[in-house]
Amino acid sequence: MLNIKELTIEKAGEMMKKGELTSVDLVSACLKNIEEKNKELNVFLEVFNDAIEQSKKADEMIKNGKGTELTGIPIAIKDNILITGYVVSSGSKILENYVASYDAFVIKKLKEAGAVLIGRTNMDEFAMGSSTENSAYGPVKNPIDPSRVPGGSSGGSAAAVASGMALGALGSDTGGSIRQPASFCGLVGMKPTYGVVSRSGLTAMSSSLDQIGPFAKTSRDAKIIFDCIVRYDEMDSTSVDFSLSGVGHPIVGCPTPDKKVVGVPRDFLKDGVDIEVLKSFEESLEKLKNKGYEIKDVVMPLLEYSLPVYYIIMPAEVSTNLSRLDGVRYGLRKEGDNIFDSYKKSKSIGFGSETKRRIILGTYVLSHGYYDAYYNKAWKVRRAIIKEYEDIFKEVDFVMTPTAPTAAFKFGEKKNPLQMYLEDIFTVSANIAGIPAISIPSSLSSIGLPIGVQFVGPAFSDESLFAIEKDLGDNK
């Protein structure tokens, strides 16, 4: 009997290559786990009924010697990534019946590689949240302790991998939505450098911050998914075209730094961080020291402004991006007495409260009279944060912090939105600076909850982040 909870993409791929396992068996085992656990955990909004069909094709590909590292591997897809012919709801009622008319770039790449798309995963509405409690389809439960949240907003994708319903998953990360749920579910989660993975076909939350990235059990597995989706795409105007640089592709196969100096912004770790998270962080530092890493305290006074900057720029972009959901062009429509009444009814019924809060906040900071005071100022601070990182990376290879200030918390525990926003204190700055970051499991808390540690690297150092895990030892 296959134990999907323990099986890696790497191992499953080897087994399939040797003929010891078929994709049909692998996908069937995942479907069985879904059947047994999805009702309770609420991970998948839809399981694709052609999954077995896809796996048969993958088995053919392998048989014909055309297999890749992802051929036949079941991958779960966050419900804000478009797959032709399937509903893509972004966890919202307003898009409940919206069917994608094209494949997102990353989906095209996964299909070309022969991966099996197993289903679309539950998420916070329009990727706004840190617990998946904001989904219009009910919260996802953490497979490690179902009385707790799996993190968010990509909680469904994280829970799918952690519960053996898929071997890997795609999420999107605007302020931490891959790394924080990875940390809560004991997985590796990675946010790439802005522009190296196409956003074409990703339902936009905040366009200058969003990136798609992988979830997996190991860095090696996460890298397999990453390597498949990191390509130039002419359909995304922010996609990085490496061919123009004349140096080929600097990310795939880029060397890892050998001096390995890790910067720790000590001042930033003082307040509000759970004692067990701090302890786990210190243990990880020790492990790295023993592996020959140099650990250096760094002073980054602007990091504390990341969250305020995020909560101005992100809602501004949210209000702009979601304005198209007006009951006319896309999604749910409720007839009113006139066009404005229809807008009002469609949005009032279609959007949940966190989405409404951010649309209102974003409209406010973009409004005449407040634009200079908030939005413009936030962009100035954003540039200063980018510069602070650039300067720090002249001294160190990575900046290391805990991924989140806590381990997985209980449902309803963070009632005040501000408390919830603080969950992203360590993750948002990488999105603000457009640089890559990874969350790696560091240890378990005294009650067995996973804790993660985060490494942030300079732009385009993505591949080197995957190499750190082996120096942290076995943390499961």
What residues are labeled active site?
Answer: 78, 153, 177
Beta partners for residue 399, in sequence order: 263, 456
Q: Check residue 198 and report its DSSP letter.
A: -
How many residues form the binding site for ligand GLN (CB under 6 A)?
14
Among 74, 175, 362, 457, binds ligand GLN (CB under 6 A): 175
Q: Does 168 bind ligand GLN (CB under 6 A)?
A: no
Q: Does 176 bind ligand GLN (CB under 6 A)?
A: yes
For residue 437, the one-letter residue type is A
- C-alpha 408: how far from chain center: 16
Span near ligand GLN by CB under 6 A; candidates 62-70, 102-110, 128-136, 445-453:
128-136
Q: In which order are the strands placed within the sheet that holds 211-216?
A: 44-47, 116-121, 74-78, 168-173, 211-216, 188-191, 437-444, 450-456, 398-402, 261-264, 294-297
Among 127, 170, 212, 465, binds ligand GLN (CB under 6 A): 127
Joined together, the tokens standing for residue 115 give 């991966």
Q: Does 173 bind ligand GLN (CB under 6 A)?
A: yes
Among 69, 424, 463, 469, binds ligand GLN (CB under 6 A): 424
Among 71, 122, 132, 174, binds ligand GLN (CB under 6 A): 174
Q: Smallest distance, Å, CB 206 to ligand GLN?
A: 8
Pairing state between β 116-121 and 74-78 = parallel
Span near ligand GLN by CB under 6 A; candidates 56-64, 175-183, 343-351, 455-463:
175-183
Please tell me the distance from the alpha carbon of residue 118 to that of residue 160, in angstroms, as a whole number: 10
Contact criterion met (CB below 8 Å) for 123 and 154: yes
Among 91, 129, 263, 457, binds ligand GLN (CB under 6 A): 129
Q: Does 13 bind ligand GLN (CB under 6 A)?
A: no
Give the residue with the Cβ less far from ligand GLN, 123 or 230.
123
Among 58, 75, 128, 162, binds ligand GLN (CB under 6 A): 128
Positive or negative torsion for Cα 407, 300, 171, 174 = positive
Q: Does 205 bind ligand GLN (CB under 6 A)?
A: yes
Contact criterion met (CB below 8 Å) for 91 and 124: yes
Q: Smallest distance, Å, CB 138 to ligand GLN?
A: 18
Joined together, the tokens standing for residue 42 give 């609420």
Give the residue with the Cβ less far from ligand GLN, 127 or 399.
127
Beta partners for residue 77, in sequence order: 120, 170
For residue 303, how many C-alpha atoms fall within 13 Å in the half-sphere facing its CB? 23
Span near ligand GLN by CB under 6 A; candidates 46-54, 58-66, 124-132, 261-269:
124-132
Contacts of 267 (CB under 8 A, 6+ apart): 299, 300, 301
Q: Does 183 bind ligand GLN (CB under 6 A)?
A: no
Span near ligand GLN by CB under 6 A; candidates 67-75, 171-179, 326-334, 462-470:
171-179
Please tell me the distance from the alpha carbon of residue 18 to that of residue 62, in angstroms, as a whole number: 10
Span near ligand GLN by CB under 6 A; candidates 83-91, 168-176, 299-307, 448-456:
168-176
Q: Binding residues for ligand GLN, per CB under 6 A?
A: 127-130, 153, 172-177, 205, 314, 424
